[in-house]
Amino acid sequence: MTRFEDAVSRDLAAAPPPPPVEHFRHRARRRRLRVWTIGLVALAAIGALSLVVLRSTRHEPTVSVSPTVHTTDKPTAAPTTTRPTGVTFPLSTAPTVNRSAPEPTHFFASIGAGSERVALVDTATGTHGPFLTSASQALVRFSSDLRTIYDPVANAGCGHTWTAINVATGASKPAFQDLNHPADVVESPDRKKVAYLQATGTNGCLQPRLVVRDATTGRERHWIQPTNPNGRGETITQLEWSPDSSHLSYELNAGRTTTAWVLDINRGTTLTDGVQLRSPDAACTLWVPRFQPGTNLIVSAENCIGRSAQLVSYNATTGAINKTVPVASGAVFGIIDLAIDPSGRHLIYILSYEANQPSEVYTLRNGTPVRLLNDAYQVAW
C-alpha cells in the first residue's frame, strides 16, 4: 500500500459524513489543439486512491457489449504501443482487491482522435461494442444513471442543438430545446436541476454565464464571469455536479491560465465566488476536477507539461490539499480526463504524452494501473 493510499484510507475512515458538496469536458476547440500537439500513451502507475463507499442510486447501463462490433473498428484488449522514452512511472504495491465495491463492468469512452465516437467498453477486456454516436470532436454528456447520452449534434450560435440517445435502444430525440442552444449542459444527480452555459451580450461566446435551473419550478440562478484583464474572456469547461447536487466544479480558462473551482449553487453571483483549488506547484495547472462520492473530497489532475503529472485530492469545502500521488514524470502532457465510479473507490483516467502517440485509458487494479484502451479522449462510468 502506498503512502498516499495508506494516508487517504486513515483520513477517510475517520472522516465525518460528507457535507453538502458534490461534462463540461474540454471544449472541442481546446481538445482539437491538444490532439494535434500531443501523443498520448503510457502507463501511469498510481498509488491507488483508496476511497470510501457510499451507496449510490446510479445503476450500471442496461446494455451489454455486443460480440459484434463496428466493422471498421475491431475490439482490442490492452493494445500495445511503443512507450515514449525519458518517462518514469512510480509503481504501487497495494495487495488486495476491493471486494466490497466491485469495479464497474463497463465504461463509456469517446474513441478516435479528431472524429470521436462513443462506445461502451468492457472493463475486463478493453473491447468495445457498437458506436452509439456519430463521429465528432464535440464532447458528449451523460445522464447520472448513464442510460442516456446527450450529444451536441450541431452548432447553433455560441451553443449547440442537443440530441438525447437511449443507450439501450439507440433511439434518439431532441433534448434541452427550452434552454436556447446551451454551449454545455449537465443534469444534477437528483434530477431536480440542470446546469448550463448561456451566451450573454456581444461577447457571449467568450464570456457565457452559468445558469442553474430548477426542473420543477423553472426558477434560475445565474453566475457571470469576472472581467478578464487580457480582454479575451474566460471559458468555462469541465462543468460537473457534486453527488448531492448542491455544488458544481469547473475550470476557468483564460489563455494559458487554467484555474479549478468549487461553487455552492446557493451562494455568490460570479464564478470566482466559489472555492479555488490551488496547484501544489504554482508553475503547473489543475485540470478535470471530479467529486469523490462518499467523501468531502474532490480530485483533480495537476499537469506540469513536459515535466510531470499527478493526482491531487482536496477538501471540497475549504480547498485545502488532502493528498497527492504521482502519475508520471518526464515528457508528459498530462491527464486529460478522469472519472470516479459511484462507490467512490475506483478511478479511470486518460494519460497523454508529448510524443506523437494516441492517448490511453487506464484503470487501477490492486493498486496497479491496467491499460484498457487507446486513442480515447473522454471517459465515464
Contacts of 36 (CB under 8 A, 6+ apart): none
Would you say residue 157 has pLDDT above 90?
no
Neighbours of 201 (CB within 10 A): 10
User: Whole-angstrom Cα distance, residue 27 to residue 31?
Assistant: 6
Report if pTM > 0.85.
no
In a domain, 78, yes or no: no
Would you say residue 206 has pLDDT above 80?
no
Query: pLDDT digit string (tens) for 28-86?
Result: 334 433 433 333 333 333 333 333 323 333 333 333 333 223 333 444 444 444 445 56
Give the structural domain span for 11. 3-64+93-112+132-380
- Is residue 381 within 8 Å of residue 341, measured between CB atoms? yes
pLDDT range class, residue 262, cuts 50, 70, 90: very high
In the numeric block, which cell numbers belong to residue 275?
472555492
User: What mean pLDDT is predicted for residues 347-362?
Assistant: 87
Would you say residue 11 has pLDDT above 80?
no
3-state secondary structure 215-282: CCCCCEEEEECCCCCCCCCCEEEEEEECCCCCEEEEEEEECCEEEEEEEECCCCCECCCCEEECCCCC
* Domain count for the chain: 1
In a domain, 279, yes or no: yes
In a domain, 76, yes or no: no
In a domain, 58, yes or no: yes
CATH at residue 359: 2.120.10.30
In a domain, 71, yes or no: no
User: Whole-angstrom Cα distance, residue 333 to residue 361?
Assistant: 14
Rounded to the nearest angstrom, the gap between the alpha carbon of residue 352 and the centroid of all alpha carbons in its chain is 14
In a domain, 47, yes or no: yes
Q: Please provide the average confidence, as pLDDT, over all residues in the chain.
A: 77
In a domain, 178, yes or no: yes
